[in-house]
Amino acid sequence: MKKFRAPGKLILSGEHAVVYGNPAIAMAIDRFAETAISWQPGSHAIGWQNGSKLSKYALDKTISKLDIDMPCGLEAVIDSNIPRGCGMGSSAAVIVSIMYAISSLAAINLPIEYYAKLGREIENLQHGRSSGLDINVSLRGGCLRFENSKTIERPIPEIPMYVVNTGMPEITTGECVAAAEKYLTSSLLQDFAAVTNEFDQALQENNLVEIQNCIRANHELLTQIGVVPKPVQEFIAELEQAGAAAKICGAGASAGEKAGAVLVVTTDNMDAIAAKRGYSIFKIKGVTHGVQNISG
Ligand code: PMV
């Protein structure tokens, strides 16, 4: 049996613009997807526990791309504590843990770049047009600046970060990326890139005030491209009035009332503002490691 776990992620700055080659900053978080895979001698089928359409596709695609010889059937067990479809990298973490578990079972060990490319192809089934950011963060861990498929490591930010899950959006990431595209003029893309560059600088200087300013500016831009539903805009406005900075993380939603994860950066307690809307708020920690062998 081989068992691998891969972290989820939060995009701290630059979602949507990253799809068009602009910079983004994302961080692996202490939420994980795990895949255990074992050979099943005497069987020729693939048995699943918690397998989704995407995980089945990820396994089939890895087996065929790596030309894995299948002496018998398999049993695959998926386990995850990353909320699904909420911009926290659940799909990417599942894909990464599956690619590594089946490779390891077949004693195949390829460079990380190979898995980044294959993972992005698999994620495209879901996204349509994945930037590859989620897959890279889940593979490599830590905090990364990502631009045009290239990654640069950054230290894990030492700022007080919280996540509020506003619920699973009614539309998919792919639909949301397509809906936002019409607003993303070259001047708006430049604005996104400028905010992410300032954010990157502020993070390296650990300048909390400037980090919060960048998050507020990023939220304005995300609102302009129509991916922040009205109730979430109102929630973020209230957080801002109380001194926090907040933005959606990930695709957000161009329809419906829920936008998945909202990142909140604050030194104050925002529990009451979240509770008023029935949301829960939890502290989030970055993790330095990416995909790991936990076969024991
Ligand atoms: O909502 P998520 O975690 O799937 O993130 C999507 C981020 C986008 O920039 C909108 C798309 C992408 O592939 O980078």
C-beta 22 within 6 A of ligand 1? no
Question: How far apart are the CA of 87 and the centre of ligand 1, in A?
Answer: 7
CA distance 15 to 18: 6
What is the model's pTM? 0.93
CB neighbour list of residue 53: distance below 8 Å, 6 or more residues apart: none
In the Cβ-directed half-sphere of 29, how many Cα atoms lie within 13 Å? 27
The C-alpha torsion from 17 through 57 and 91 to 72, rounded to 10°, is -140
Q: For 92-127, what is each residue's pLDDT tens digit?
A: 999 999 999 999 999 999 999 999 999 999 998 876
CB neighbour list of residue 296: distance below 8 Å, 6 or more residues apart: 3
Question: How far apart are the CA of 251 and the centre of ligand 1, in A?
Answer: 5
Q: For 180-232, what is each residue's pLDDT tens digit?
A: 999 999 999 999 999 999 999 999 999 999 999 999 999 999 999 999 999 99
Residue nearest to atom 13 of ligand 1 (CA): 130
C-beta 97 within 6 A of ligand 1? no
C-beta 16 within 6 A of ligand 1? yes
